[in-house]
Structure 1
Amino acid sequence: MKLPIFIADAFTARAFCGNPAAVCLLENELENDTYQNIAKEMNLSETAFVRKLSPTDNFTQSSCFGLRWFTPASEVPLFFCFLAQTAIGDTLVQDIQYSPDTRKLLVRLSDSYKRSFLETLKVNTENLPHIENTGKVKGLILTLKGEPGGQTQAFDFYSRYFAPWWDVAEDPVTGSAHTILSSYWSQQLGKKQMRAFQCSRRGGELNIALRPDGRVDVKGAATVVLEGTLMV
């Protein structure tokens, strides 16, 4: 079986720039394992499979196709891609993962970005509760791999957290989000102990340790800013 496949660099007018993705054209559905094996072989952030809905369709003319989207690890529901795009526009995305237990959507930005980009990124959260109103998603995590050098060398990864479904536009520092982040980045970095920084306006540093039983210890410093007497 021969399948036409392309690699396209998105969000750029020049070759070898932007975000590379594979696009495979299909006449018919494939076995599920075949989709994932092709995505693993391409080893790009995204591999899209575009399938004709009718034998008379033409890839160069018709605008109605079946579409499935895979990372090297798993299939990405298209709705989650749309939700992420609503929040961050054309920002380059490296990976999208969903935690059904916590109902949190993790969006990893491209490794080409630096911490300053995540800190200043304008995120549109106002429309998210209207777009996703089924209860499936209750929190949006944006995360970025730590930079290899400079003053940010001490941190393994960065994040920001948004929960407009709970009337929280952006949370300053979120312990619950780091239970998801710690599992994800532990697999990505091959580490059980990590330091993280949440890039909200207030900012926060967290020390993370994964136990053998799967539990996560999240620790950080605390500072007393108010002392008084409550009269009741």
Structure 2
Amino acid sequence: MEQSSVTVFVVDAFTNELFSGNPAAVCCLEKDIPDSLKSKIAAEMNLSETAFATIDTDGGETFEKGTKFGLRWFTPTHEVDLCGHATLATAAVIFHKLGNKEKSIEFKTHSGILKAIQEGESSITLDFPINPPSPFEAENLPDIIRVVVGNLEIQEVQHSATTKKLLLRLANKYNRQDLESLNPSLQDLLAVEKSGVIKGVIITLQANEKEDFDFYSRYFAPWVGIPEDPVTGSAHTVLAPYWQTVYNKHQFRARQCSKRGGDLNIEIVEQRVKLTGQVAHVLEGTIRIK
């Protein structure tokens, strides 16, 4: 008999407080479903990402006892190749809701094998590929900068070719409040950048020495249906190697300064980025699919 429903969880990632951090929907599928249905569910959930996990029989037969799983992520309009917060949310569902007692599990994704490691009862560490950015120039760059930051001064511009993320660093004379006050027109962004070279814009700022963080950021990705992402794990695979060159160190504390906000502990180990965060479980329900 064909399945008539799918269980869905909503998890706030990179926070330990309800209704903050980045919400992701998670569907752990005992039997896979067509991509067209995944897209419809993601559009219905209307969160920045909906994650779909499947069982990899090489790593076990169930979510409760398995160690290897397939994982894909869908925005309301597109499938994406890498998503940190929805991976964190998926690992939390498998560990906390489905009863998996393994210390570490693996996800097979379009970005390779991603690991999730339990760190006590409250934190999970994600082991992700590093995506170092490099200096970037383009004819439409002044227009993009104008739309994103207005008259604020940009200290550096870099671009990650692997993730198609543009990184704009605000000058050190600005503070967190300046970053949080930005309100770029997303329609204008879509109008000035149509090449496909950029799929998201990171705005970042060095933190004051007296603050609890090393750097701050915000992230906009209207090209994939995400106006502003509350907390973005994949963006920190770009931010971490950038700030490593600035600070000459490999461990960071970061804050993404969206309205909801979220915190990450970051460590660079060789060519990997380890992102550690907490979650808050918000909702569990059932979606009818027929």
1:97/1:107 contact within 8 Å kept: yes
C-alpha distance in 1, partners of 2:187/2:230? Answer: 17
Where do 1:203-218 residues align within 5 Å? 203-212=261-270, 214-218=271-275
Residues 1:88 and 2:145 are matched in the alignment: no
Say which of 145, 157, 176 aligns to 2:206: 145
Partners of 2:287 and 2:146 in 1: CA distance = 50
Percentage identity across aligned positions?
42
3-state DSSP of counterpart to 2:240: helix
> Aligned-residue CA RMSD in angstroms?
1.8
Matches within 5 A, 1:133-172: 133-149=194-210, 153-172=211-230
| Structure 1: gaps (5+ residues) | 1-72
Counterpart for residue 219 of structure 1: 276
Q: Which one of the candidate residues 230, 236, 244 is aligned to 1:186?
A: 244
Task: Give CA deviations for 1:194-219 in whole Å, capped at 9, x if unaligned.
Answer: 0100000000000111012x111111
Change (3 A) 1:86 1:137: same
Alignment of 1:53-64 (within 5 A): none
Name the amino acid aligned to 2:219. Y
Equivalent of 2:234, from 173, 176, 180?
Answer: 176
Q: SS at the partner of 2:172?
A: coil
- 1:132/1:189 CA distance change after superposition, 3 Å: same
TM-score (norm 2): 0.51
Q: RCO (CA 8 Å, sep 6+): is it higher in 1 or 2?
A: 2
Q: Aligned equivalents of 1:178 and 1:120: distance in 2?
A: 21
Q: Is the 8 A contact 1:173 1:200 kept in 2?
A: yes
Quote the offset at 1:79 in angstroms: 2.5
User: Given the alignment of the two structures, is residue 201 of structure 1 paired with residue 259 of structure 2, yes or no?
Assistant: yes
The alignment of Structure 1 onto Structure 2 pairs a total of residues equal to: 155
**How far did 1:81 drift?**
3.0
Question: Of 105, 115, 122, which residue of structure 1 is paired with 2:183?
Answer: 122
1:157–1:196 CA contact under 8 A, matched in 2: yes
Instruction: Point out where structure 2 has 5 or more consecutive residues left out of the alignment.
Output: 1-133
CA distance in 1 between partners of 2:266 and 2:244 (Å): 10
User: Residue type matched to 1:186 in 2?
Assistant: Q
Q: Which amino acid aligns with 2:220?
A: F
- 1:101-120 alignment to 2 at 5 Å? 101-120=162-181
Shift of 1:167: 1.8
Please give the alpha-carbon distance, in whole angstroms, between the structure 1 residues aligned to 2:286 and 2:174.
47
Shift of 1:123: 1.8
Q: Identify if the C-alpha distance between structure 1 residues 166 and 81 changes in structure 2 by more than 3 Å, giving closer, same or farther.
A: same
Give 1:74 deviation, angstroms: 5.0
Higher strand share: 2
Q: Structure 1 length normalisation: TM-score? A: 0.63
Q: Against the structure 1 CA distance between its residues 180 and 75, is the aligned structure 2 distance closer, same or farther, given a 3 Å change threshold?
A: closer
Give the distance between the partners of 1:98 and 1:75, measured in 2 at CA: 6
Note the alpha carbon deviations across 1:109-163, whole angstroms, 9 max, x for none. Answer: 01011111111222222211222111111000000001111xxx21000000000
1:59-101 deviation per Cα after TM superposition (whole angstroms, max 9, x unaligned): xxxxxxxxxxxxxx95633422321112221111111101111
Separation in structure 1 between the aligned mates of residue 147 and residue 237 of structure 2, nearest angstrom: 25
- The answer for the alignment partner of 2:137 in structure 1 is 76
